[in-house]
Amino acid sequence: MMKQHTASRRQPRGAGLTCQQVTDLILNYARGELQARTALALKAHLRECPDCVAFLATYTKTIQVTNALRYETIPPAMRNRVRHFLRTKITEASRAAADPA
Amino acid sequence: MAPRGSRTVVPSVARPNASSTDDRALIERMRSGDDQAFDAIFRRYVNKVYRQIHRLIGNDAETEEIVQEVFLAVYQKCQSFRGESAFSTWLYSLATNACLTRLRKRKRIKEISLDGFLPRYRDDGHHHVRPVFNWSDEVEFRLEKDEVRELLQNAIDQLPPAEKAVIVLSDVEGVPDREIGEALGLSIPAVKARLHRARLFLRGKLADALGYSPA
């Protein structure tokens, strides 16, 4: 009886995957890198599990907002200081190379 | 934005436009003493390097020092760049290693346990907290852009160095897993594992900021 109960609790949704397994597969699923059979099992799970649908949507959203961080550029003042620093160093190196003594 | 890989569900970022052929030509010119070539490399990559370092380090003063350090290393070490990997990979490697060296020194101060913001599951494998709310449409509605940026930066700051480096290179800069692996000395599965864990943590932080359970 206890075994049946345990088996029932472990019964995964949709074609054999648990929510935890779905989470583990999300990265490859989102990139389309899952094997076809695994992708089908995951899709079957999603059809039956609104929690994983919500989880996938929020995981995807997290990637999108993180992507948006890339539209940042070095502040102009910092860029100028770095450039000045590098030019100074390069000039010093060139002088040293030209006049090793 | 072009997705990485085929049949991608998640919008991703495009690879850098600068071709590796152009980079190699510039490096060759640098080797022969052409400082304009170095200037071209600087212009081409300074924003990427800045973002990478700034996201990893989190403060302006140290970021500036490391940007200087990295480009100076490019100038000084271009003779030793053998071209076995893309120039961009070599550059990411220089920048990441410079950052990781600093981060390791302050690891004990800033590193926290990620577990409180990762998903949790019951013994049967179902989500521990149900229902899971879909708050994906609420982010822009409820948080200002600057708030999201600050929240993500704070969350990235709390990641262990390797996770931090991987998510910045992958999800911010769009660097392919293979190049990240080469830059950090990790296998592709190890890159993916760290990326996934970092994403789950950032997701948990966003959920928490919106008033939902990270689990």
Task: Report pLDDT digits (tens) over B154-176.
Answer: 899 889 888 999 999 999 888 99
Greatest pairwise CA separation for chain B in angstroms? 65
Residues B37, B29 contacting (CB under 8 angstroms)? yes
pTM: 0.79
| B64 interface with A at CB cutoff 8 Å | yes
Tell me the nearest-neighbour CA distance from A59 into chain B, angstroms: 6
Q: Which of A60, A20, A73, A57 shows the shortest CA–CA distance to A42?
A: A20
Residues B89, B183 contacting (CB under 8 angstroms)? yes
Write the pLDDT tens digit of every residue in B27-75. Answer: 888 888 888 899 999 999 999 999 999 988 888 899 999 999 999 999 9
User: What average pLDDT does chain B have?
Assistant: 84
pLDDT, position B5: 37
**Which residues pair with residue B121 across a beta bridge?**
B127
Q: Say yes or no for a CB contact (<8 Å) between B136 and A58.
A: yes
Q: Say yes or no for a CB contact (<8 Å) between B125 and A58.
A: no
Please determine, for residue B112, whether its predicted confidence score (pLDDT) is greater than 90. Answer: no
